[in-house]
Amino acid sequence: MSSPLPKNANGQLYIGLMSGTSLDGVDGVLARLGDDHLAAPAASLAHLHIPFGPALRDALMALQTPGPNEIHREAQVALELVAHYADCALGLLQQSGTPATDVVAIGVHGQTIRHRPEAGYTRQTNNPALLAERCGIDVVADFRSRDIAAGGQGAPLVPAFHRAIFGSSGNCQVVANIGGIANISVLRPGDESALGYDTGPGNVLMDLWIERHLQQAYDANGAWAATGQVLPDLLARMSGEAYFAKPAPKSTGRDLFHQAWLDGHLAEVNTYAPQDVQRTLCEVTATSLAREIRRSAPDATSVFICGGGALNGFLIECIGAALAATGVRAEVNTTQALGVDPMQVEALAFAWLARQFIERRPGNLAAVTGARGPRVLGALYPA
């Protein structure tokens, strides 16, 4: 029989590691977490980004769709992925001068390669046992499967964290996490729950398109999109995607918004300038996000952006314009205005989810994922 897990006193240290749908690399934070919330608005003691090389990125992308010898390929990719996770975690310790024995646990999401809650599963490539071995720190992983086992979507998981650190405003506010996929958390004063779900594509389609035409991983600050014009017919066709009309709870990923989805819509376009397609894809992200905010939080006074989309000034402008067009009078900022670096929010969330597991507290919100109730999320891999 396993020994009881240690109780977490106020202000203990956790590491959170996150690699998202954008496939750009690993973001990690060393954070001091209190009993019920972050110990301070800026609780991150160290932050590190470890980029993926082209070979790893291509291998992870190939696992998004069925192919030969998948079991072996996934296992090999997981080994390389965990090498990046370990480098990030150990780098955080070195950067902050923190011994591994001072850290309660590492929370690591793994890399999503399939997300099929309607089929009863989600798959995050990972090797948490190897990570525990490499770092000498307890590892908490596999956060999504218990929620799916309880009838939920397994995603998004960040709204519970957003509520914990951002939910004290006197007005309705929205936190919009824009990675490869975009999701929102609606936070209302006095509401112990939160509404949240994936709104649709974030950067994923724009990244695919600019890589094809300019061999760049992303559109820095939306500069290329800003040179184009919206193609109304293409925007209308893409906006007709059935996912956008589905009610919450809902979640999505590259299983839907992928290269074939994009090419299928472009096949009906006779002539186009590549920069006009990029501008239109930016508009798809902005308008789908704005429509969902109008649907779920028409009284929102603030929208705070985090994730890679927070670095895209042109996208943020488009979101502001799209919100105004729907009648939502909300100021758009990044989470930096709330004291948290927008590039650290997701990694902080998985440090927090590890803390929730160690304390045997729920990590999901049933109203968000559709699970039958609150559940303790994760599995422990002891050091």
CA distances from 238 to 197, 204, 272, 275, 354 (A): 19, 14, 15, 17, 37
State residue 185's pLDDT score: 96
- Say if 333 falls within a structural domain: yes
Positive or negative, the CA dihedral 99, 24, 118, 365 is positive
Residue 242, Cβ density class (10 Å: 0-12 exposed, 13-18 middle, ≥19 buried)? exposed
CATH number for position 353:
3.30.420.40
In a domain, 171, yes or no: yes
Number of domains in the chain: 2
- In order along the chain (383 residues), what is the average pLDDT of each group of 10 residues? 39 92 93 65 80 94 90 96 98 97 97 92 96 98 97 93 84 95 93 87 97 95 98 95 96 94 85 94 98 97 96 98 97 94 95 96 94 97 97
**Do 221 and 326 share a domain, yes or no?**
yes
**Per the domain annotation, does 31 fall within a domain?**
yes
Residues 116 and 164 in one domain: no
The residue type of 255 is D
* Residue 129 resides in a domain: yes
Whether 5 is in a domain gets the answer no
Residue 204 is assigned to a structural domain of this protein? yes
State the helix-helix crossing angle for 204-214 and 259-266, rounded to 10 degrees: 70
100 and 64 both lie in a single domain = yes
Contact 345, 307 (CB under 8 A): yes
> Are 238 and 317 in a shared domain?
yes
**Whether residues 223 and 201 fall in one domain:** yes
78 and 199 fall within a common domain: no
Residue 338 to residue 353: CA distance in whole angstroms = 20
Task: State which residues form the domain around 220.
Answer: 158-338
Q: Looking at 303, 318, 338, which one is the last position of a domain?
A: 338
Question: Are both 280 and 323 inside the same structural domain?
Answer: yes
Task: Specify whether the CB–CB gap between 328 and 172 falls below 8 A.
Answer: no
Instruction: For residues 60 and 32, state if they share a domain.
Output: yes
Q: Is 190 in the same domain as 313?
A: yes
Q: Is 1 a domain residue?
A: no
Asked if residue 169 and residue 150 are part of one domain, the reply reads no
Residue 129 and residue 39 share a domain: yes
Q: β-pairing, 103-108 with 25-33?
A: unpaired
pLDDT at 1: 27
pTM: 0.92
- Asked if residue 103 is part of any domain, the answer here is yes
Q: What count of other Cβ atoms lies within 10 Å of the Cβ of residue 265?
A: 20
Do residue 297 and residue 364 come from a single domain? no
